[in-house]
Chains A and B, each alone.
Chain A
Amino acid sequence: MTASVLMAAEGLTVGYPTAEGVVRPLQGFDLTLREREIVGLIGDAGSGKSTAALALMGLVRPPGRIEAGRVALDGTDLMSLDEDRLREMRGREIGVIVQNPRAALNPMLRVGRQIGNVYRAHNDATAAEARARAVEMLRLVGINDPERRVSAYAHELSGGMAQRALIAMALSSEPRLLIADEPTSGLDVTIQAQFLDQMWDTVQKTGSAVLLISQDLGVIANYCDRVAVLHGGRIVEDRPVRAFFANPEHPYSREVLSLQRDAAGSGAERRTGPRGEAPLLAVEGLKKTFPIPGSAKVVQAVERADFTIAPRETLGLVGESGSGKTTVGRCLLRLEQATEGRITFRGQEISAMGARQMRAMRSKMQIVFQDPYDSINPRWTVRRILREPLDLHSKLDAPGKDRRVRELLDMVGLDPAWVDRKPRGLGSGALQRLNIARAIATDPDFIVLDEPTSVLAPQAISGLVALLRRLQDDLGLGFLFISHDLTTVQYLCHRVAVMYLGQIVEVGTVEQVFQDPQHPYSRALLAAHLFPDPASRRVEHRPPERLGGEIPSPVDLPEGCYLAGRCPHALDQCRIEPQALHELDDGRAVRCWQVVDGVLEVDA
């Protein structure tokens, strides 16, 4: 592709005055984009990616300012334009979509009005024409029933829908460059795939170039032509996507890619789980509903979940937000009282235990939460945090407890000299290790890991996952690993359970589920997952397994199979008959009669 240069940024430097002097998230940022090209920009959280997105249009969040550099669009230096001319360029030549689309939409105005306002800011149009353009754009980005949706307010839209409205606005004047700043953060994988496919189709039609900013290597590998790496305020690597993934040059890039490499490399030596022994944990018919205040209806979070976890085994629990996977984990530890069902741990039925007995039991089963900042008392020192479980459950004397605290810090790879620090100054990766240290303090047999990696930076994730594997080997722990990130699940788990709307729809070994998923939902989930592998890019062969529509509300669930409304294979029988989890010959279990009866038609 030897298209001509569309935009070139040179030496862009942005400074924010603070009490400690000027902080510069960008320092000599250079980047070139050619016509119709999709360039991925990656970098840590806080590395200045969003600042770069704004600075390319001559904008900075106050009180910062652009201190140096030029941005040439078709040879015109934007920084030399006066504010009025610059404003005209924004929106007409450069369109932007941002993360958190609902906050970017004006909450007070109807979506159609907002799109119309933007359109009229750059085109000579009447109110009626602008409205017509809004409807047209909403249709183009794949919103059903755009005539009705133009009169919606931002708070009435789902996250995916709001992101589409935003892209409709950004592309309404057919800009030649679209800057997409983490457009899918916060969206579920199946919705993310829908959105990115649609975005790709749309820019193919409008002929815009795209700067796609993301932390997700899967997104980058599947949609971008070129990758630029932002580190320390400047671009440290800028290469075609395949070359980048095959052979990253900068140490930072290598670090970022290491998790993926480890995952690929470890496939052969992954242990099959130690099955056969008496299960460590058995769950039968677990059900959890939440009452809705002022209504007879209930929210169904979990429905009839059955599974077992063997000693030293990791069961992955995957699914999108609202699938009930977190609730399952909380019910196991009785942080949430299950509505129905039996939970047996080491042969004892804990679902029937009294409060005192259960408290004693907690030394043997623990949990690590998603948000490491939130799950640690901000006022306590590291020492006090780690002593809490020892004070509750161990018979050690004071010096013994102190020794144990240091030992725990060492086990999770933290500096034992940190005992008197408070959580405030620690990073998210260190805090999550502290959470793990607290969880293993009393030598438990089983730990629920509730999305422990979801707020961490890519390189912190790889370290944490390695730590978890090591701890499992050293201490003989059983894990329930709850996650929506299939890459980590593949690396850490022996078996996987896939959840959709409170039901487990498929359980099997990692090989079974990842290589050959059976249930239509598992297939769609796997297909929508963007593995960071530029060799088989989604944009080059779009997988057939795609779900339509949006996830139904857990309050008004369909009568038959919960997936029937979105499933491409749904038959009349699916819509009527509730589905049960059936075990297949190869040991896995699937909740789909078509799979069980072997009548599911799949186009390979």
Chain B
Amino acid sequence: MITRYILRRFAIGTVQLLLLVVAVFFLIRLLPADPVSRFVGLNSSAEAYAQAERNLGLDRPIMVQLGHYLGLLPSEGPGLLQGSLGTSWVTGSPVATEIAGALPVTIELLTFSFMVALLVSVPVGMLAALRPGGAADKGVFVYSLFAGSQPEFWWGLLFVYVFFFTLGWAPAPLGVMSPLTSAPETVTGFVTVDSILAGRWDVLGEVLHHYMLPVATMVFILSGPIIKMVRQNMVRALASDFVLYARCAGLPKGRVAMYALRAAMAPSVTLIGILYGFMLGGAVLIESVFSLGGLGQYAIRSVLAFDYPAIQGVILIITAISLLVYLALDLIHAAIDPRVAY
């Protein structure tokens, strides 16, 4: 039953992605941007302009362009259905390769940030829930309201000023390792994993050091909504009839706490998934502050350069990953909560 459910979700997801790709394809071509003059310059000759337009394939009817992109025209070479995301107009290299190079940094940043944020926020949220309205709860409430509504790029800069410039504890905000370090052999593309595989502990240490500030910034931003949600779910669980009844039945304190905890965790899982998907696109600014060279920065570059294939690729990949994360967390949710049916 569970396999059928997963397969169905994949099928629906594929259709969703396809629709999304088509929508994005038309949307960016509807907007009044002129990528051709961006590449040849505004003062170029009509001839050079026409040549560039031909090179980009923009002279052909829009449906032909779409067919080409999707890979429905075999004579034109591989397209989306053959697994190709096209070629970047700026660099001329395959978009898929470029994204594969940028994606690991973003995933690492997000995963570290979520791990730390959960480690910090879950206990804090639960502590606040123990005595709703108590002093701890009030402080935590104001903090989470504040942290949940902050300009992350500015806090990143502030951290750089304090921890790099003033205190010197953090490295310069220029990527995940110093340009002088020789990178470990690329196996997975994730620098942390690769340096462990290669036994390069020095590189691992350096990379983690470089991740320190961006992760701290992100944890600060993430902790707001996570604490708020954990607190709310825990308060609700502790006030629920079945926790009261468990006390009426004389269950030991530890057992009652387990009842409440499990009930509070189940809804949190789904919300964390949504937050992860949201931050995939939202990490753009933090990557930019720390020049991490991840997917977000790739997106900025592509958008500002009117690099249509790259833009389409980025949106496709981000949405695909979000859908995968949602699916994984829905499965976890269903494993915790028997009321959720496939």
CA distance A90 to B253 in the complex (A): 13
Given contacts A96-B245, A103-B240, contact A108 B337 (CB under 8 A): yes
- Asked if A194 is at the interface of the complex by the 8 Å CB criterion, the answer is no
Rounded to whole Å, the gap between the CB of B242 and the closest CB of chain A is 5
The one of A54, A88, A108 that contacts B263, using a Cβ cutoff of 8 Å: A108
Pairwise interchain contact B242-A90, C-beta atoms closer than 8 A = no
- Are the C-beta atoms of A96 and B336 separated by less than 8 Å? no
Partner of A107, one of B133, B246, B251, B337: B337
Chain B: CB-nearest residue to A53: B248
Pick from B242, B250, B252, B253: contact of A106, CB below 8 A: B242
Residues of chain B lying within 8 A (CB to CB) of residue A100 = 241
Least CB distance, A77 to chain B, in whole angstroms: 18
Contact partners of A319 in chain B: CB under 8 A: none
Chain A residue with the shortest CB-CB distance to B259: A106
For A89, list chain B residues within 8 Å (CB). 250
Q: Mark B221-260, 1 if CB is under 8 A from A, else 0.
A: 0000000000000000001111011111111110100010
Say yes or no for B338: interface residue by CB 8 A criterion: yes
Nearest A residue to B238, CB-CB = A62
CA A595 to CA B23, docked complex, whole Å: 68
Say whether B249 contacts A103, CB under 8 Å.
Answer: no
Query: With contacts A88-B250, A117-B251 known, is A103 near B338, CB below 8 A?
Result: no
Residues B165-214 near A (CB distance < 8 A): none
Cβ–Cβ contact B252 & A121, under 8 A: yes
**Which size class do A's interface residues fall under?**
20 to 34
Complex contacts, B266 vs chain A, CB 8 Å: 108
Decide if A54 touches B248 in the complex (CB within 8 Å): yes
Interface size of B by Cβ–Cβ distance < 8 Å? 25
Beta-carbon contacts of B65-98 to A below 8 Å, as 1s and 0s? 0000000000000000000000000000000000
Question: What DSSP secondary structure best describes chain B's contact surface?
Answer: helix
- B255 and A107 contacting across the interface, CB-CB below 8 Å: no
Is B339 engaged at the interface, CB distance under 8 Å to the other chain? yes
Q: Determine whether the beta carbon of A96 is less than 8 Å from that of B242.
A: no
What CA separation (Å) do A108 and B245 show in the bound complex?
14
Rounded to whole angstroms, the CA-CA distance of A61 and B266 in the bound complex is 24
B9 within 8 A of A: no
Q: How far apart sit A107 and B336, CA to CA, in the bound complex (Å)?
A: 11
Is B262 interfacial (CB 8 A cutoff)? yes
Does any Cβ of B come within 8 Å of A87's Cβ?
A: yes
For B255, list chain A residues within 8 Å (CB).
117, 121
Known contacts A63-B133, A98-B241, A121-B255; is A106 also within 8 Å of B338 by CB?
no
- For the complex, what is the distance from the CA of A100 to the CA of B245, rounded to whole Å? 11
Chain B residue with Cβ nearest A88 = B250
Decide yes or no whether A475 CB sits under 8 A from chain B.
no
A345 sits at the interface (CB 8 A): no
Closest A residue by C-beta to B336: A108
Contact B241 A104 (CB under 8 A): yes
Chain A residues whose CB sits within 8 angstroms of the CB of B248 once the complex forms? 54, 57, 59, 90-91, 96, 98
Name the B residues within 8 Å of A39 (CB-CB).
none
Question: Residues of B with Cβ closer than 8 Å to A?
Answer: 132-133, 239-242, 244-253, 255, 259, 262-263, 266, 336-339
Give 21 CB contacts A-B under 8 Å.
Answer: A54-B248, A61-B244, A62-B132, A62-B239, A63-B132, A63-B133, A91-B249, A91-B251, A96-B245, A98-B245, A103-B240, A104-B244, A105-B242, A105-B245, A106-B242, A106-B246, A106-B263, A107-B242, A117-B255, A155-B339, A166-B245
